[in-house]
Structure 1
Amino acid sequence: MKLRKILQITSLFFIPLIVISCSQKEQIKENVNQIKPNIDIKIPKKYDQTIKVLKVVDGDTFYDSQGNKYRMLGIDTPEKTKQTDNGKESTLGLQHHYALKAQEFLSNKILNKDVQIINITLDHYGRKVVQVFINDEDLSILLVKNGLAKVAYISKDKKSRYYFKDTSYVDVLSKAQQEAMIMRLNIWSDLKKISQIYPRKGH
């Protein structure tokens, strides 16, 4: 009898704990699913021009049919190649793996297709830095959201060389990256290895 009473009393403590634990897991899952770029993205009423993509160099760079070279605004994808004393050489390991994955993703979206662009500036390589859209979808945001690019070369700080006056756009990119990190997507699948995917220049 005493044993039965002890078991009954113990169950009164453990059953609520199990319910609370399950409830917390569901809440965490729900919260993760809700972490999305929830700032309204303003679709431009007018794009600067429509171009046809002839070649995708990597996950954030491409050429149009006229030979113009473009760099996508606000992102950086892993590098496929690196400059060495012997010229350009292929990168290795995770860096190369995710570089190819980002390139494939972008190619599937835009290669040999018409895209709409908004011209932003020229970078120090002479490439046109642009916002790129297909079917009114911003591809910089899409790459970041899928964990195939990190937010880079864009800032809300007026003193930064990468200052971008549409600060709400910077917020959208940041939230997309936050989502990808929490969901451990692609480059964020192991945060301890991010330095292998984006090694410091010269390494």
Structure 2
Amino acid sequence: MSFSFFSISFTNSCNLVSHYSSEIFIENVIDGDTFLSNDSKYRILGIDTPETYDSSSNFKPTSGPQYFYGTLAKEKARELLGQTKVDIEALKKDKYDRWISKVTMKNGLDFSSYMIKNGYAIVRYISPIKSSYFYYYDSDYIDHLYDLQNYAKINKMGFWSESNAVLKKIYPK
């Protein structure tokens, strides 16, 4: 059964903010934290996966461990999400016109939680502070994601098995 809920509200800066929940078919996984469906681009809430292309250098491929782990994250996202239906809660649009979204896979697993717990992503672009403009506010969800990230670090999951020097190459900013 599929359902849709749509509401519109205005923020203080008069930016249009929309929110809806629905079941969608994922047509194309762009990278570990972004995908396409029905001509809309979606950005997964609360995670950031390593980049395979550097936007600051005209989208040239990254290299070394950043490219390796970015490719791994993209492959895992394709395995879990590619060409399938998921439940999505699209929360708002970001400055790149992507829907910031919570994604639940058909087995009930939260995609962000999986990616962080297994060392494919770090916690990012979510805030415990309501007034944060760029980040989405969700204090309970961010605490949950940080708990999973700490688990991944302690258990050396995914890229957390690397040295601090390598981690700085994977996430240079």
Deviations for 1:69-97, whole angstroms, at most 9, x for unmatched residues? 10000110000101355x32100000000
- CA offsets 1:6-58 (integer angstroms, 9 cap, x no match): xxxxxxxxxxxxxxxxxxxxxxxxxxxxxxxxxxxxxxxx9810110110000
**In 2, Cα distance between the equivalents of 1:184 and 1:99?**
17
1:104 aligns with 2:82: no
Matches within 5 A, 1:174-185: 174-185=146-157
SS of alignment partner, residue 57 of structure 1: strand
Q: Which amino acid aligns with 2:142?
A: V
Residue equivalent to 1:127 = 98
Alpha-carbon distance, 1:163 to partner: 4.7
TM-score, scaled relative to structure 1: 0.71
* From 42, 47, 53, the counterpart of 2:26: 53
Give the equivalent residue in structure 2 for 1:32: none
Aligned to 1:22: none
Q: Aligned partner of 2:94: which letter?
A: D
TM norm structure 2: 0.83
Cα distance, 1:170 vs. partner?
Answer: 1.1
Q: Give the residue type in structure 2 aligned to 1:177.
A: Q
Aligned sequence identity (%) = 38
Larger radius of gyration: 1
- Tell me, in whole angstroms, the C-alpha distance in 2 between the residues paired with 1:127 and 1:160: 18
The yes-or-no answer on 1:155 pairing with 2:127 is: yes
Runs of 4+ in 1 over 3 A off after TM superposition: none
Structure 1 gap ranges (5+) = 1-45
Consecutive unaligned residues in structure 2, runs of 5 or more: 6-19
Which structure has greater helix proportion?
Answer: 1
Whole-Å Cα distance in 1 between the matches of residues 142 and 55 of structure 2? 30
SS in 2 for 1:130: strand
State the alpha-carbon separation in 2 of the partners of residues 112 and 163 from structure 1.
27
For residue 199 of structure 1, report the CA deviation from its aligned partner. Answer: 1.0
**Which one has a larger percent strand, Structure 1 or Structure 2?**
2
2:39 to 52, 67, 91: 67
RMSD: 1.6
Q: Contact conserved, 2:24 with 2:85, CA < 8 A, in 1?
A: yes
Checking the alignment, whether the CA contact within 8 Å between 2:118 and 2:158 is kept in structure 1 is yes
Equivalent residue for 1:142? 114
